Chains A and B, each alone.
Chain A
Amino acid sequence: MEPPKIWREKRGKYLAMGVECSDCMIKQFPFTEKCSACGSENVKEYKLATTGKVLHFSTVTQTTDEMMGSTPYLIAIIELDDGIKVTGQIVDCNLNEAKEGMDVRMVFRVLARNGSEGLIRYGYKFAPI
């Protein structure tokens, strides 16, 4: 991933910053310049809830080269306490410990390392509460 893209996505990945439309009030994630529901450009940042529940999860065994070192790992769809659904990795949880309905909270982790000399990407993942 190129530095400009990492930099642009920083607030979304580090802070789980989404967007709220000031016209139709819909909240979305990730951030967009334009409301996907009504097309309004009258949008502002909205910080997602930091706790939620696991709706579905699965174990990833095949993925991109930079993430292969981390496999197998858990990926889940989380329904946050504000109703917004996001996808994220579950950490501090063994593969056989994950459950649907499990309460989780956002934690700050390494998302990927570009080899031993490239940039390290950080962002949110989820840990059991």
Chain B
Amino acid sequence: MNKVGIVSFGSYIPRYRIKIEEIAKVWDEDPIEIKAQSQINSKSVPGPDEDVATMAVESARNAISRWKGKEKDLGAIYVGSESHPYVVKPTATIVAAALDVEKSLTAADLEFACKAGTAGMQMCFGLVKSKMISLGLAIGADSSQGRPRDPLEYTVGAGSAAFLIGSENIIAELEGTYSVTTDMPDFWRREGAVYPSHGVRFTGQPAYFKHTIDSSKGLMEELGTKTSDYQHVIFHQPNAKFPQAVARMLGFSKEQVELGLICKQMGNAYSASSILGFANVLNHANPGDQILLTSYGSGAGSDSFSFTITEAIDNIRPYKYDTQYYLNQCEYIEYGKYVRFKGILR
């Protein structure tokens, strides 16, 4: 069987952050209580001249510039997001042009709430494995919307992660992928609506937990792996509590989940959330490590992946503009500036 896996990856998180205290001040709410609920301290905010296309391009350029292959070999680009800058006019074509890889390739924008990035990864794995293309690019990027005063306002951040998927010089070899998909009314945004709506408490048990657990278990059963086989495990991070709770329920330790848990500093970057955690793990994991990644997207579904890190990972590390670089590079802004940057003033 021909091998398939990740050959390079890149991250991007905007520089601006807003602290939970700063938002709570505006609504006279108790920041200590809110932080206890989400375990998120601050969330990332895109600058006024940033959107999903710019963040997707930055993460993709990081994936390409740390890597020694030829980007002209790209046969597919998929950008998963729920905040594409246009409803009609793809983000993926902007990415193709900004990488100078126009024009003999296929491309599309994807939407599946917070798991459209991993959906793109699965599509690339399939195309590469079946030899329809030799190299694919899957990106998950979001500039998340949260209605002012909604609980989401405290947690929804922004960022992007990009993965080059191929069959040569693999840094993280794919052992298998497994998905669960059901129709679930937990979170939605109608055409033309600015902000998403959600089923508040309904978003937890039957939605996030059920899908994440069933998908992770399904993959491990299929592969015959057990929780102790994995050095690192990454789940979708709508807050820091959910992924830690789901890890506990599945039998993973705190240590296994820790490295991928980056939402404490940047919030939930929707389509980029679990895969930015995964990118952070890839920056630190050792050859031979096994990694489990499970995304979750409302509506609803989960995609699980099992990877083994190869020796080739040290060919693309260290790299200056890695996930940690963007986490470290941050400037805290006040609510007024946040309102301006998000375009809430009209």
Smallest distance from the beta carbon of A19 to chain B beta carbons, Å? Answer: 15
Chain A residue nearest to B65 in the complex (CB): A50
**Contact status B50-A109, CB under 8 Å:** yes
Tell me whether A15 and B54 are in contact (CB under 8 A).
no
B105 within 8 A of A: no
Q: Which residues of B (68-118) have their CB < 8 Å from a CB of A?
A: 85-86, 94, 97-98, 100
Report the Cα distance A91→B58, complex, angstroms. Answer: 14
Q: Is the CB of A125 within 8 A of B49?
A: yes
A120 to B91 alpha-carbon distance, docked (Å): 11
Bound Cα distance A107, B51 (Å): 13
Q: Are B15 and A108 touching (Cβ within 8 A)?
A: no
Q: How far is the CA of A11 from the CA of B49 in the complex (A)?
A: 19
**Assuming the A-B contacts A120-B85, A120-B86, are A110 and B100 also in contact, with contact meaning beta carbons closer than 8 angstroms in the complex?**
no
Are A14 and B54 in contact, with the CB atoms below 8 A?
A: no
- Cβ-based interface call for B146 (8 A): no
Q: Does B47 contact A (CB under 8 A)?
A: yes
Give the shortest distance, in Å, between B248 (CB) and chain A (any CB): 38
Please tell me if A122 contacts chain B, counting CB pairs below 8 Å: yes
Taking CB atoms, residues of chain A closer than 8 Å to B54 are 107-110, 122
* B163 CB, min distance to chain A CBs, angstroms: 18
Q: Which residues of A contact B48 (CB under 8 A)?
A: 69-70
Minimal beta-carbon separation of B336 from chain A (angstroms) = 15
Of all chain B residues, the one with the shortest Cβ separation from A89 is B49
1/0 per residue, CB under 8 A from B, across A70-92: the answer is 10000000000000000000011
Residues of B within 8 A of A109 (CB): 47, 49-50, 54
Q: Give Cα distance in the complex from A14 to B57, angstroms.
A: 10
CA distance A11 to B58 in the complex (A): 16
Say whether B100 contacts A107, CB under 8 Å. no
Do B98 and A110 have beta carbons less than 8 Å apart?
no
Beyond the given A108-B54, A122-B98, could you list 14 further A-B residue pairs with CB under 8 A, ordered by the A residue number? Answer: A14-B100, A15-B97, A15-B98, A15-B100, A70-B49, A94-B331, A107-B58, A108-B58, A108-B98, A109-B47, A110-B51, A110-B54, A120-B85, A120-B86
A-B contact pairs, 25 of them (CB 8 A): A10-B97, A14-B97, A14-B98, A15-B97, A15-B100, A69-B48, A70-B48, A107-B58, A108-B57, A108-B61, A108-B98, A109-B47, A109-B49, A109-B50, A110-B49, A110-B51, A110-B53, A111-B49, A120-B51, A120-B53, A120-B86, A122-B53, A122-B54, A122-B98, A125-B49
